[in-house]
Homo-oligomer: A and B are copies of this chain.
Amino acid sequence: MRLSELSEQSGVPVATIKYYLRERLLPPGHRVSATRADYDGTHLRRLRLVRALIQVGRLPVATAREVLDHVDDDSLGRTIRLGAALWSLPHGPDPDDGAPETAAARREVDRLLDRLGWTSVRETGELSPVHRSLVAAVATLLRLGYPYEDGYLLQQGRLMYQVAVQDLDMMETYPSETEQVESAVVATVLYEPLLSSLHRLAQEEESARRYGL
């Protein structure tokens, strides 16, 4: 299809598509003459992903390009490719190594992962920005003097594992590895806020059941 049709089908203005092409967020069309390029379903799918990252996820253009570069890198094994794409998405703050609570937080997180039996992420450790955010969040609890509830986190961790199994099952319904990695990125950007709303609504429901309205 022509650029104008791509714009029509995607609902993205031609000028915006041209900007995405210049910024290498969208691969160039297949050149059919000196003045015309042809676009296909791949472009339509990528355009949808770019909008999800930039308009909904509010990623800066450079970060979005980094995510997409990992999505497209089929030289990597699937776990690494998935990890690289998801790790380049925005995440919580890193732990503050100068703070006295950080060492205690690291011990708590190690112990929690051991009890959960999550041996791979225990090994990858703070290579993962998600692991680092977890340490930072625990350190914040400790710094403010709030109790670190390890029994609670153990139970919630087990439930989150079941949530993750559903996530990967959904991902595997997509045919190609590239589409699977794309779907994981979309899930993190678009479905995570949805799960977070479901969590809070479940609290409201359970509160009404326990205490009435």
Contact = CB atoms under 8 A, between A and B. Distances in A.
B157 A79 contact: no
A206 B128 contact: no
Band of interface residues on A? 35 or more
A150 to B, nearest CB: 12
A120 B204 contact: yes
Interface stretch (A15-23, A62-70, A194-202): A194-202
A169 to B, nearest CB: 8
Given A166-B155, A186-B146, A213 B92 contact: no
B140 A190 contact: yes
B205 A161 contact: yes
Contact of A197 (B137, B161, B194): B137
Contacts of A52: 144, 146
Contacts of A83: 204, 207
A121 B208 contact: yes
Interface string A112-123: 010000111100
Contacts of A1: none
Contact of A213 (B80, B184, B200): B80
Contacts of A113: 201
A130 interface: yes
A34 to B, nearest CB: 32
A211 B79 contact: yes
Contacts of A146: 48, 52, 186, 190
A175 interface: no
Closest 8 pairs (CB-CB, A-B): A120-B208, A164-B202, A134-B197, A78-B211, A118-B205, A137-B194, A130-B200, A164-B203
5 contacts: A80-B213, A86-B200, A120-B204, A161-B205, A163-B199
Interface of A: 48, 51-52, 56, 77-80, 82-83, 86, 91-92, 113, 118-121, 124, 128, 130-131, 133-134, 137-138, 140-141, 144-146, 149, 152-153, 155-157, 159-168, 170, 184, 186, 188, 190-213
